């Protein structure tokens, strides 16, 4: 299983759209998933950070999982976020995702109290034992409050069905170190949008990103150039989209994607409080970025 | 209300004890609260970080609130943690605490996505409008993932019933800055155990701490010395307990308090996974610290 | 020697004033030293960070040492900075200071390449062996690029004539930790101006500061209140001067002291390039602060 | 001049070897330079961090410059470090380097007092006006204590003869940002050894490194693969040398290069105090790394 991880390329992260009353807008979720699959992305990952996983109730998480997987309908592999603060809830959601037909699940060890390495290993191992599908371990200290060192990730990869790593620190040195520790065939994925070029150059199998909501063709063009070994073309495709990628990182994915979809003709409802919509002055900046990219008429 | 905040002195934070099957041990919670009230602490604060608030279900939170307040029975003021990742759940818990008779509630703006200042202000304001009792705003970037600057705290204190601040950064400069911004009568409390002496010297109204589970007399002695204006005695009381305070900070309050209670004759069940008990080698170190403090026979 | 360190109280750091042609203005240096001694400070420390030690040539450093010590003329103890990037030059300057009559010397282990603990110990030990007067070890990672942990400082204090520690991290926890490691009689001094109150509360023997150039009476009032055990008075004296102390830290001591002296009637020449004078907009802010403190007419 | 910077490829940084009595070993310096030129490096950069620039006297710096340039004799371009804490000394050394025949000089704005942007701009501008050859601006916060943002670097590049940037933060995002700010033709160079692959992928013109003292063929192989557009070969060459590059970064270039040269048959004398030789246990680790790379017999 280690040798042939089920995911590669552009792995798209749908937002979780809400109605004006704050409830889930599942038909819109299905439409957004459909649009990205049609655009040619190589995977769909509901309930990531972009999907505001931690802000949803258990019931809502299950509804998002079912809706997204039903819409994908096996056309591309799926990676469902199942992270929870407690091990018990993470296991519950991992089992639910497996039953619903997920290709794999993603586990971010979240912290309130800083977790020790032993606690993280025990937590992930318990989830892994509860399911039969592959796990992608996810490192994102900026949101999760805990940083998985490459050394710890290497130990997590010894758990049989932990076969993938999503790295979102934005430090390419972490990826090089991981290859040094685990060998060339370690399947790592990049989750920091502005690091997309460097991560592919470092050998990343894929790029986990919400950007295909707005610029799928550019995201795919970067991956295609890398696959062809055309570093110059890759650099051009990357620099074209870098201003938007940096903007997304600076202002937060749910805020930017919701505003961008609304700008490009797909109105999205409110974010879940305490999250607020992108402020107007930043919406104006986003509009300029999208015009520059041809995603909006001037 | 600003002038006479309802809390001062040693504000004790009970752990939330569990049975071996992982369910709440409410009788033990009541006993632990009783013991600290009897020891003379000046306030009780259930559902803090020590009380593993974020790891509990809504039902469990309500049960802890009711149990603790019933046991206190008005003998000392109470401060109930109501923090939640979403505004809606925080309001729910704040209302519950008010109905249950809490003196005040504590709000820690928690983050997954980094919150903007506007989001934090809107979040706290919404909670404040929903209740009629005072709010203590809580800054603890190490657990919450968001850091409230003194400038932002000063703005939060303009909300009518936000009348107290608990500062847990461990940086006394934050407290001095707060006094500079808000005036001498700003009611701030220290939540970083090793900062207890410096915070009282800076004018803190109280010390929010789980240490009274193990060494209430020493905690009270520090406060008494400060109240008497005896800085030398305060320094001696502080240095006597500093090794334990540092140990608590280094290894995490729930782990250390649970282990310390077990060592001193009050067995406490497991922590909630992924949290694990204090490792054996650290239990041995804790035993030595407690022996040195006279809390355990040699 | 450990028990009775030669310095205590307000230890004043003279700037090193320059003429318009960039050469040392030694008569002005003597006048500034005289003014602070007359104001009642308890020690004089030429060639500190304020004295722009690292920007001076060897000859200039020697001239400053001689001028300052001659002016003090034994009325208060002196602490001469002798830090250099190489051990050889530090030894040279330490010997010079001893011959010139310094009470003690201050050593900041400076780094370009990060120094290992072994390198710092060897460096300080070599300087200590070369002289017969006491050494104050100085920790200031913000300027020196290397951070001395309390554990390393404790080891440095085992060198016979290393008898004092100046701590400038601005973290009072470092001081508490030092007492825990070295015992109550460890002679530590505070070098972070905004930490003056907390450091005295923690037991600091003295406050190393350039502020007596501008507000000697307030600096001394804080120390007097602490000596009398009057914490309330100490807090009042501290809060009165805190805005200026924070301004000094934010904009850099040489820039602020030079501008403040000029504002208060003692024109000081340029700083040594690349250092530039305090920008005009900040001079205006400084003027307001000095007016508020009564150091300038409104 | 902006379009055709005079340096590219593998730019080798010689150490500054000392004799047992602590004086410069200029013949050995010449031999080390010769060896790297003969191995095919594309540039020589005396008096970098590796060359322990800040630990040398003015006379020593001049002797190193003359020796290195004489040995290179125009076969490859040269980049001479002229950084000094004061503007006056930096100008002195820049002029000396120009007279000695340097192709370009490198300027690291060093700090004791944190420099403002205005101070850095004025400092570099003054040096640039004093000479007629190109300047490479150097950002290395870990050694210099000041961090040049991409925005500030973009402003420095507006000074006519500032035509190159050496980035040593180890964060590839800085390089991407620089391209975004300055355009595709900005000439940036990587100074963080473990970032060599990512930097070339990002478009770096060259790699500034001391590694050619030990593994010139591998360094050149990485550059050759990138030049050919063979990303797979580049990745292989990079991963082969990464363990040594990481070791160099962890233990400091002068310590590692001196130990490595001694191991491989070119004894190098002591480092300048306070720098100490690489400790024995790390020498053993270095030996294993060099054996693995074929640079030493097993």
Catalytically active residues of A are: 138, 166
Chains with at least 3 CB pairs less than 8 angstroms from chain D: A, C
pLDDT of residue C1: 45
Answer for the pair D108, D146: CB distance below 8 angstroms, yes or no: no
Which member of D180, D197, D226 has the closest CB to residue A242? D180
Domain B9-223: assigned CATH number:
3.20.20.70
Which of B171, B173, B225 should we substitute to test contact with C (largest number of C Cβ atoms within 10 Å)?
B173
pLDDT the model gives residue D3: 57
D228 at A interface, C-beta within 8 A:
no
Q: Is B256 on the interface with A (CB under 8 A)?
A: no
How close is the nearest chain D Cα to the Cα of A179, in Å? Answer: 8
Q: Does pLDDT of D119 surpass 50?
A: yes
pLDDT of C4 reads 81
Residues C244, C247: Cα–Cα separation, whole Å: 5
Interface residue A114 vs chain B (CB under 8 A):
yes
Question: What average pLDDT does range A69-93 have in this prediction?
Answer: 98
pLDDT of residue A3: 58
D30 touches chain C (CB under 8 A): no
Binding residue ranges of B? 50
CA-based nearest distance C240→chain B, Å: 9
Question: Does C182 contact chain B (CB < 8 Å)?
Answer: no
Contact C107, C87 (CB under 8 A): no
- How does pLDDT run across C157-169, given as a tens digit for each residue? 999 999 999 999 9
Report the candidate in C129, C166, C130, C132 with the shortest Cα–Cα distance to residue C45. Answer: C166
Residue-averaged pLDDT of chain D:
97
- CATH class of the domain defined by C9-216: alpha beta
Q: How far is B169 from chain A (nearest CA, A)?
A: 15
The predicted pLDDT at position B4 comes to 81
List A residues 152-171 in contact with D (Cβ-Cβ < 8 A).
170-171
- Chain A, nearest residue to B272 by Cα: A86
Predicted confidence at residue A1, as pLDDT, reads: 44
Average pLDDT over residues C265-279: 97
Overall average pLDDT of the A4-30 stretch: 97
Q: Which of C174, C177, C198, C222 would you mutate first to test chain B, the one with the most B CBs within 10 A?
A: C198
pTM equals 0.96
What is the percent of chain A where pLDDT is above 70? 99
Give me chain A's average pLDDT, please.
97
Catalytic residue among D3, D13, D138, D249: D138
Residues from chain C that touch D274, judged by Cβ atoms under 8 A, are 86-87, 109, 115, 119-120, 122-123
D277 and chain C: CB distance < 8 Å anywhere?
no
Query: Which positions ≥6 away from B169 have C-beta within 8 Å?
Result: B139, B140, B141, B142, B147, B192
Cβ of C179 within 8 Å of Cβ of B231? The answer is no
C165 touches C134 (CB < 8 A): no
Interface check A293 vs D, CB under 8 A:
no
Residues of A in contact with D184 (CB under 8 A): 239
Produce one character per residue of B105-140: b if its CB has 16 or more CB atoms within 10 Å, e if not.
bbbbbbbbbebbeebbbbbbbbbbeebebbbbbbbb
Q: Is C236 exposed, middle or buried (0-12, 13-18, 19+ CB in 10 A)?
A: middle
Q: Which helix (H) or strand (E) holds C113?
A: none
pLDDT over 70 for what percent of chain B? 99
The pLDDT value recorded for residue B298 is: 85
A21-51 pLDDT tens trace: 999 999 999 999 999 999 999 999 999 999 9
B295: tokens are 């809390």
**Closest residue by Cα to residue A193 from A80, A84, A81, A50:** A50
Contact D60, D29 (CB under 8 A): no
Q: What is the pLDDT of residue A61?
A: 98
Minimal CA separation from D75 to chain C, in Å: 31
Residue B2 has pLDDT above 60, yes or no: no
C112 in D contact zone (CB under 8 Å): yes
Contact B275 A113 (CB under 8 A): yes
| C212-236: average pLDDT | 97
How do residues B44-72 score in pLDDT, each as one tens digit?
999 999 999 999 999 999 999 999 999 99
Convert the pLDDT of each residue in D240-291 to its tens digit.
Answer: 999 999 999 999 999 999 999 999 999 999 999 999 999 999 999 999 999 9
Q: What's residue C17's pLDDT?
A: 98
Tokens of B178: 């707060």
List of chain A residues whose C-beta atoms are within 8 Å of the C-beta of residue B109: 274
Return the percentage of chain A with pLDDT > 90, whole number: 97
Chain C contact for B181 (CB, 8 A cutoff): no
Residue in chain D nearest A198 by alpha carbon: D198
The ipTM value here is 0.96
CB D247, CB D289: distance < 8 Å: yes
Q: Which residues of D touch A151 (CB under 8 A)?
A: none
Are C and A close enough to touch, i.e. 3+ CB pairs under 8 angstroms?
A: no
Mean pLDDT, all residues of chain C? 97
The answer to whether B278 contacts chain A (CB < 8 Å) is no
Angle (nearest 5°) at CA B85 between B79 and B87: 80
- Report whether pLDDT(B179) > 50: yes
Q: Is C147 on the interface with D (CB under 8 A)?
A: no
- What pLDDT is stored for residue D2 in this prediction? 54
Q: Does the CB of C233 have a partner CB in chain B at under 8 Å?
A: no
| B170 backbone φψ class: left, alpha, beta (φ>0; ψ -120 to 50) | left
CATH topology of domain D9-228: TIM Barrel (3.20.20)
* CA nearest to C226 within chain B: B231
User: D185 and chain A: CB distance < 8 Å anywhere?
Assistant: no
CB atoms within 10 A of CB B101: 16
What pLDDT, in 10s, does the model give residues C117-140?
999 999 999 999 999 999 999 999
pLDDT band at D298 (very low <50, low <70, confident <90, very high): confident
Q: What is the mean pLDDT of residues C181-187?
A: 95
- In the structure encoding, which two tokens stand for residue C148, read together? 């001395």
**Bridge partner list, D9:** D206
pLDDT tens column, D33-73: 999 999 999 999 999 999 999 999 999 999 999 999 999 99
Facing residue for B275 by CB, picked from A119, A143, A276? A119
Average pLDDT over residues C267-284: 97
CB contact set of B133 (below 8 Å; sequence gap of 6+)? B97, B98, B102, B103, B104, B105, B161
At residue D1 the predicted structure's pLDDT band, cuts being 50, 70 and 90, is very low
What is the spatial distance between Cα B166 and Cα B168, in angstroms, rounded to a whole number?
Answer: 7
* Per-residue pLDDT reduced to its tens digit, B266-277: 999 999 999 999
Domain boundaries, chain D: 9-228
Mean pLDDT, residues A247-261: 98
In the annotated binding site of B for pyruvate, the residues are 50
Answer yes or no: is pLDDT of C2 > 60: no
Best residue of C15, C16, C89, C113 to probe chain D, by most D CBs closer than 10 Å:
C113
Closest by alpha carbon to A62, among A91, A105, A97? A97
CA distance C200 to chain B (A): 9
Contact criterion met (CB < 8 Å) for C170 and B173: yes
Q: Which chains touch C (3 or more CB pairs under 8 A)?
A: B, D
Question: Band of the pLDDT at A2, cuts 50, 70, 90?
Answer: low
Q: Which residues contact C27 (CB under 8 A, 6 or more apart)?
A: none
Q: What is the pLDDT of residue B1?
A: 44
Contact check, Cβ <8 Å, D172/A172: yes
Residue D116 known to bind ligand: no
C3 pLDDT more than 80 = no
Cross-chain residue pair B116–A276, CB shorter than 8 Å = yes
Task: Please give, rounded to a whole number of angstroms, the shortest distance from the CA of D87 to a CA of chain A.
Answer: 34
Tens of pLDDT, residue by residue over A52-66, are: 999 999 999 999 999
> C209-223, pLDDT tens digit by residue?
999 999 999 999 999
Across the interface, of D194, D231, D243, the residue whose CB is closest to A229 is D231
Is residue A54 within 8 Å of A93, Cβ to Cβ?
Answer: no
Rg for chain A, CA atoms, rounded:
18
Nearest residue of B to residue A140 by CA position? B112
- Inter-helix orientation angle B231-251/B216-228, to 10°: 140
Q: Would the pLDDT of B80 be above 50? A: yes
User: Using the beta-carbon criterion (under 8 Å), do D176 and A239 form an inter-chain contact?
Assistant: yes
- Judged against a pLDDT cut of 50, whether residue B141 lies above it is answered with yes
**C112 is a catalytic site residue:** no
| Positions of B marked active-site | 138, 166
C39: closest CA of chain B, how far (Å) = 27
């Amino acid at each position: 299983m280690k040798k042939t991880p089920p995911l590669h390329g552009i792995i798209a992260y749908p937002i979780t759209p809400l109605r004006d009353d704050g409830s889930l807008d599942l038909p819109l979720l299905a439409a957004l998933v459909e649009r990205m699959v049609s655009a040619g992305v190589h995977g769909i990952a509901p309930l990531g950070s972009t999907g505001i996983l931690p802000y949803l109730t258990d019931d809502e998480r299950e509804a998002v999982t079912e809706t997204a997987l039903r819409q994908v309908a096996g056309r591309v592999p799926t990676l469902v976020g199942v992270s929870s603060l407690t091990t018990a809830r993470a296991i519950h959601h991992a089992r639910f995702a497996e039953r619903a037909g997920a290709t794999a699940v993603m586990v971010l060890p979240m912290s309130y109290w800083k977790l020790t390495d032993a606690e993280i290993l025990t937590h992930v191992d318990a989830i892994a034992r509860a399911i039969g599908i592959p796990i992608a371990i996810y490192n994102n200290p900026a949101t999760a409050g805990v940083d998985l060192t490459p050394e710890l990730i290497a130990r997590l990869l010894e758990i049989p069905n932990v076969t993938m790593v999503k790295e979102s620190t934005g430090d390419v040195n972490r990826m090089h170190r991981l290859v040094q520790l685990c060998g060339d065939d370690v399947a790592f994925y990049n989750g920091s949008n502005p690091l997309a070029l460097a991560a592919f150059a470092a050998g990343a199998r894929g790029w986990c990103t919400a950007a295909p909501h707005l610029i799928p063709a550019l995201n795919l063009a970067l991956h295609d150039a890398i696959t062809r070994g055309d570093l110059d073309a890759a650099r051009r495709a990357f620099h074209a989209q870098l201003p938007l990628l940096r903007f997304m990182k600076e202002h937060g994915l749910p805020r930017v994607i919701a505003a961008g979809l609304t700008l490009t003709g797909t109105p999205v409802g409110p974010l879940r409080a305490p999250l607020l919509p992108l402020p107007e002055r930043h919406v104006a900046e986003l509009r300029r970025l999208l015009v520059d990219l041809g995603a909006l008429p001037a």
